[in-house]
Structure formats: structure tokens, C-alpha cells
Amino acid sequence: MTGLEPAQMVAADGGAPVVGESARLLASQCPNCGRTEFPAREQCPACGEPSTTAPLPSEGRLCGFTAVLHPPPGTEVPVPYGIGVVEFDGRVRVMGLLTQQIDGLDVDQRVGTVTLQPAADVVTYGFQPL
Ligand SMILES: [Zn+2]
């Protein structure tokens, strides 16, 4: 797993992301057709218009999740760990690490986006049940 470039997320207050703190992912939105993309793109993949970049809400809805028991090649995250798909404002779904194992999680529950450092040289986002 590779870390995100710092430009792909900001702290909840818009500043630099801080490990362990709330974060917001930077998505692109098409002013023409309204399509939202994460990671952000300069151009809308649906209609080709230039997109604008804006942070998603810090909270979203957990749409689904699973446990990873066998690490993919090259991963630096110790197993087992949870992966979830989170929907933001009904506009875009993003897959990411969960901050806890999947026991006790429910589909449709609220999660917050946080900055994680799951391995020494990996900084990325994750989703924390609220
Ligand atoms: Zn578009």
C-alpha cells in the first residue's frame, strides 16, 4: 500500500493533515455535469470539462466493509485489518482502511475520515466509526 500525496487530503480545518486527527479528502467536482471524483482529477472523466477541487465532508456513510486476512504483495500494513467503502453526501464512494477490526461494525453507520500512519513510511487516510 502506498501513502497519499499530502495534496489529496487536508485537516478538517483546511490546514495540513495531522496523523491521528480528523481529515477531509480532496475531491474534484465537475461544474458542468456535477460528477464528483476521488482522487481529484483535473478534467471530468464523464464530459471532459475542467473540474474544480474541494474537500469532501469529514464524515460519511459506511456502505460496506471486509477484513483483510492475507496481505497483498508489498503491503506494509500488518494483518488482519479492515477495509471499508464510505459514501460522502451520496456523491462519491471511497475505499480505505478502517481504524478498527470489522467486528461490531454495521452498514450505514457514520464514520469520520482521519489521517493514519499504519506503517513507518506510510501516511494515508482511514475511516473511524463514530
Ligand atoms: Zn462533467
Domain ranges of the chain: 6-129
- What span, in angstroms and rounded, lies between the C-alpha atoms of 50 and 73? 36
Phi, psi (degrees; rounded to nearest 5) at 28? -105, 150
Residue 59 main-chain phi, psi, to 5 deg? -120, 150
Whether pLDDT at 88 is above 90: yes
Ion ligand 1: protein residues whose beta carbon lies under 5 Å: 30, 32-33, 35, 44, 46-47, 49
CA 44 to centroid of ligand 1, rounded, Å: 5
pLDDT in tens, 102-128: 999 999 999 999 999 888 888 899 999
d(CA 40, CA 54) in angstroms, rounded, equals 9
pTM for the model:
0.90
Asked which of 2-11, 43-52, 61-70, 79-88 is least confident by mean pLDDT, the reply is 2-11
Helix (H) or strand (E) holding 88: strand 81-88
> What are the residues whose beta carbons fall under 8 Å from the beta carbon of 29, sequence distance 6 or more?
35, 36, 37, 51, 52, 53, 54
Q: Which helix (H) or strand (E) holds 122?
A: strand 122-129
Residue 56: all three cell numbers together: 469532501
Using the mean position of ligand 1's atoms as its centre, give its distance from the Cα of residue 6 in Å. 25
- pLDDT at 12 exceeding the cut of 90: no
What per-residue confidence (pLDDT) applies to 1? 42
